[in-house]
Amino acid sequence: MIDVRALRNDPSAVRAALARRKKPEVLSALDQAIALDEKMRNLTNQRDQIRQEINEVSKSVGQLRRDGANAEAESAMAKSRELGESEKQIASALAEIDAELHELLLRIPNLPHVDAPDGASDADNPLIKGPIGVLDTYPAHKRVPHWETGKELGILDLERATKIAGTMFTMQRGLGATMARALCQLALDTNADSFEEVRPPSLVLTSTLTATGHLPKFADDAFAIERDDLWCIPTAEVPLTSLHAGEILDADLLPLKYMAYTPCYRREAGSAGRDTRGMLRTHEFDKVEILAIAEPTQAAAMLEELVARAERLMQLLELPYRIIEICTGDMGLQHHRSFDIEVYAPGCDMWLEVSSVSWFSDYQARRADIRFKRTGTKGTEIANTLNGSALAVPRVWAAILENHRNEDGTVNIPPALHPYMRGATIIGKR
């Protein structure tokens, strides 16, 4: 969440920054938060004045009794009790306002980076790099959608997946399943030079999902296990961010870098009317996430590194891609600055987002209470968090089938995956 002190010290700057998101409801929520914070401060001052008065009255009671002025002492005690009741009422009001303000701040988005491009929607997202590797024209055999090729080769079984789990679930078989696993292993091995591998829980507490900003706003998009107060993770970003929740880190050890393979679960509650065929949009999928916890001065360079690492995997897989920057109006709740890598799928004739790399400034770390301390200094500072999809399987898998499809209907396996394919270099009919 944003720093409440910024609302007090420079509310106009916060308002100007959030206005760039082009969402009037955000500014309305901000105004409510500023009003609530002012009300809290006024009530806090009243409470402190009453406490001071209670202390003064209490001191006078002893002196009055020593002076034999018992009637005056009793009157002072009555006044003290009356002040005490007023203090309790103010404390109760403060607790209610504090809870209301906290809930409101959880829903107010992060401030965009000054260099984030302005815009109102995804139509305004500027192209940063590419397109790279896109053919001038595509032959007919590469214009076949991956769900048709997958069915013909016996490596994508959507019918039985639906029979088992319902709509928007997929199932890879044979070399299709092997390639899905190989993609994850390639992503892990490519980033193992600098990132510690973690296998976190796939179920997390409400507090863990709240720390990253997925709750409360995106509750409808998550799978909940209400009986146990657990949630299926939408991405490994969620448990990795909370690895150090409530901790004070040594600044000399930053940045900390983690990577994780996990299944990911998303209800996709808002996907009605959007293309959900094949592997394009599913409730469950595998993904390798890379994440960093850094101090603010390291964050910009770390963002560049994460983007470069995600881009490198598209190069290794010989897929046509481009990089776009997310404008302020299309930016996620938690994002300070964000980039997407998209691959072109000729069979779908679509650019598919395969990686989103984001810098969250101190927004998530404040929610999770992740701090760091510099050697020889007093106090602590809030850390910065960043994360990116090193590789999300479904759309990359789909793009491979469409871009590497041969005229005879077989699919060439990218050489980077050969070490993980048990000797297979091409996928033919089973």
The catalytic residues are 266, 281, 353, 356, 395
Taking the whole predicted model, whether its pTM rises above 0.85 is answered as: yes
Flag whether 115 is in a domain. Answer: no
Helix 146-153 vs helix 175-191: angle between axes, to the nearest 10 degrees?
Answer: 120
The reply to whether 177 and 70 lie within a common domain is: no
Q: What is the DSSP string of 259-314?
A: EEEEEEE---TT-TTS--STTSS-SEEEEEEEEEEE-HHHHHHHHHHHHHHHHHHH
Phi, psi of 176 (to 5 degrees): -65, -40
Q: Give the pair of three-digit tokens for residue 158.
A: 């959507």
The reply to whether 59 and 193 lie within a common domain is: no
∠ CA 410-416-419 to the nearest 5 degrees? 90
Flag whether 113 is in a domain. Answer: no
CB 357 within 8 A of CB 310: yes
The reply to whether 268 and 368 lie within a common domain is: yes
Q: CA gyration radius for the chain? A: 28
Number of other CB atoms surrounding residue 407 within 10 Å? 9
Flag whether 333 is in a domain. Answer: yes
Q: Determine how β-strand 196-197 pairs with β-strand 224-225.
A: unpaired
What pLDDT score was predicted for residue 62?
Answer: 74
The reply to whether 155 and 241 lie within a common domain is: yes
Q: Tell me, what CATH number does 70's domain have? A: 1.10.287.40
Scanning 358-406, the segments in alpha helix (DSSP H) are 363-368, 393-403
Pairwise CA distance, residues 91 & 43, whole Å? 8
Pairwise CA distance, residues 254 & 293, whole Å? 7
CB 382 within 8 A of CB 365: yes
The reply to whether 405 and 281 lie within a common domain is: yes
Phi, psi of 147 (to 5 degrees): -70, -25
The reply to whether 69 and 209 lie within a common domain is: no
Q: Determine how β-strand 284-294 pairs with β-strand 384-392.
A: antiparallel
Domain-terminating residue out of 43, 72, 107: 107
Pairwise CA distance, residues 234 & 212, whole Å? 11
The reply to whether 356 and 230 lie within a common domain is: yes
The reply to whether 127 and 98 lie within a common domain is: no
What pLDDT score was predicted for residue 58?
Answer: 81
Q: Tell me, what CATH number does 223's domain have? A: 3.30.930.10
The domain in which residue 164 lies consists of 122-427
Domain-terminating residue out of 46, 78, 107: 107
Q: Give the pair of three-digit tokens for residue 368.
A: 């999770």
Rounded to a whole number, what is the distance in angstroms from the first to the last CA of the chain?
52
The reply to whether 101 and 164 lie within a common domain is: no
Flag whether 275 is in a domain. Answer: yes
∠ CA 346-407-276 to the nearest 5 degrees? 35
The reply to whether 129 and 75 lie within a common domain is: no
Flag whether 116 is in a domain. Answer: no
Domain-terminating residue out of 72, 107, 142: 107
Flag whether 359 is in a domain. Answer: yes
167 CB contacts (<8 Å, ≥6 apart)? 276
The reply to whether 90 and 131 lie within a common domain is: no
- Tens-digit pLDDT profile for the chain (430 aa)? 999 999 999 999 999 999 999 999 999 999 999 999 999 999 999 999 999 998 888 888 777 777 778 888 888 788 888 898 999 999 999 999 999 999 999 999 999 999 999 999 999 999 999 999 999 999 999 999 999 999 999 999 999 999 999 999 999 999 999 999 999 999 999 999 999 999 999 999 999 999 999 999 889 999 999 999 999 999 999 999 999 999 999 999 999 999 999 999 998 765 554 577 899 999 999 999 999 999 999 999 999 999 999 999 999 999 999 999 999 999 999 999 999 999 999 999 999 999 999 999 999 999 999 999 999 999 999 999 999 999 999 999 999 999 999 999 999 999 999 999 999 999 998 7
CA 12 from chain centre, in angstroms, equals 27
Flag whether 175 is in a domain. Answer: yes
Cis upstream peptide for 216 (omega within 30°):
yes
The secondary structure of residue 361, as a DSSP letter, is T
Q: What total number of domains does the chain contain?
A: 2
CB 90 within 8 A of CB 47: yes
The reply to whether 14 and 42 lie within a common domain is: yes
Flag whether 357 is in a domain. Answer: yes
Q: Which residue has the tokens 């390798």?
A: 288
Three-state secondary structure call for residue 203: strand
What pLDDT score was predicted for residue 81?
Answer: 87
CA dihedral sign, ordered 6, 12, 18, 23: positive
What pLDDT score was predicted for residue 174?
Answer: 97
